Amino acid sequence: MHGDAELRQRMTALIGGYQLSAAIGAVARLGVADVLADGPAEPRRLAECVGADLRSLERVLRVLEDTGLFTRFEDGRIGLTALGELLRGDVPGSARRGAIASTEEWRWRAYGHLTHSVRTGEPGFREAHGCGLWEYLDREPGAAAMFNESMSRVAAANAAAIVRAYDFTGVRRLVDVGGGHGVLARAVVEANPELRGIVFDLPGVIEGTRTHLADAGITDRCDAIAGDFFAAVPAGGDAYVLSWILHDWDDGAAAHILANCRAAMRSGGRLLAVEMVVPAEGEPAVSPDLDRLVKATDLEMLAIVGGRERTAAEYRALYAIAGFELVRILPLDGLPWSVLEGALSL
């Protein structure tokens, strides 16, 4: 029944979900979990260490205790739970940077216009900021640095899995289109000594890429080239990688990027898109948690960028428009991404 108290309480909790996100983002920025890494601390000492108002910090921690991130001992000290450990910046699989990036003010504002997105299909980001995400990042270097760092974390998460899952034998020249700072290209090049790589991205990104490749000591085998994939991409590759690129764009723009890759690649070349694949209607999810993550990411595309996550059938159709055949889909073990291998259509 609609009047059931339990249902009303559950609805209230769902509506207030953004408050938990904001609280998690706040303690992540303050570095609360890092202070508690050495053991439980009294609230006053904790507040002094992170530079917070004691009463305000206690109010936020009280909420987060209920979520299982922190625990309060009988003597009043605050400690970390196993879940809260993930907010430390120095642990494998740390979620601290993700918590900060996901709760940045410029991202929140876009979600305030989600109704506009649902009505029009246009990203709420443009309504909130008067420009698209990419234009915004061009004029806001701080936001751009955080965004690029987030993309590098994503690349690092899936680079090793891609190298394990996909056989690059026979690929002599790999072009990583929209490759950011070259994390994925570096992993592939280091695992395949016979292969040379190219990282291709916008001029504002590629300077950082050159620094990263130099630090890795692979500039003799991996080049960094600046350009715009809507104009053209470097020619002569045996394989073109688009890692988390196509989902940023609507079908028309995505097909245009794919067509530019097709025009540039050698005969017999391969197209490798690394994307999340939305389960088809009625198709059982491989993992409920990963399924929820894919759907949440699709919502992010709607609100922030204007792109979308797609089903396998939708990717097959998109490939066909650009002259590719979707040959196979290789899920990455334990991750929400897959490698969608395309071959030139006959």
* Catalytic site includes residue 2: no
Judge whether 224 and 211 are in contact, CB under 8 Å. no
Structure tokens at 247: 């989902």
Cα distances from 8 to residues 18, 21, 148, in angstroms, run: 17, 21, 41
Which residues have C-beta within 8 Å of that of residue 307, sequence separation ≥ 6? 246, 247, 248, 249, 250, 254, 301
In order of 68, 245, 306, the CA distances from 231 in angstroms are 49, 15, 20
> Strands, DSSP E only, in the chain?
70-72, 78-80, 173-177, 196-201, 222-226, 239-243, 270-278, 310-311, 324-331, 337-344
Q: List the catalytic residue out of 113, 181, 247, 256.
A: 247
Asked if 303 and 123 touch (Cβ cutoff 8 Å), the reply is yes
Residue 340 has a CB neighbour count (10 Å cut-off) of 25
Give the separation between CA 162 and CA 35, rounded to whole angstroms: 35
Question: What is the distance between the alpha carbons of residues 201 and 108, in angstroms, rounded to a whole number?
Answer: 27
Longest C-alpha distance within the chain, in Å? 73
223: left (phi over 0), alpha (psi -120 to 50) or beta: beta
CA-only gyration radius of the chain, Å: 22
* Residue positions annotated with a catalytic role: 247
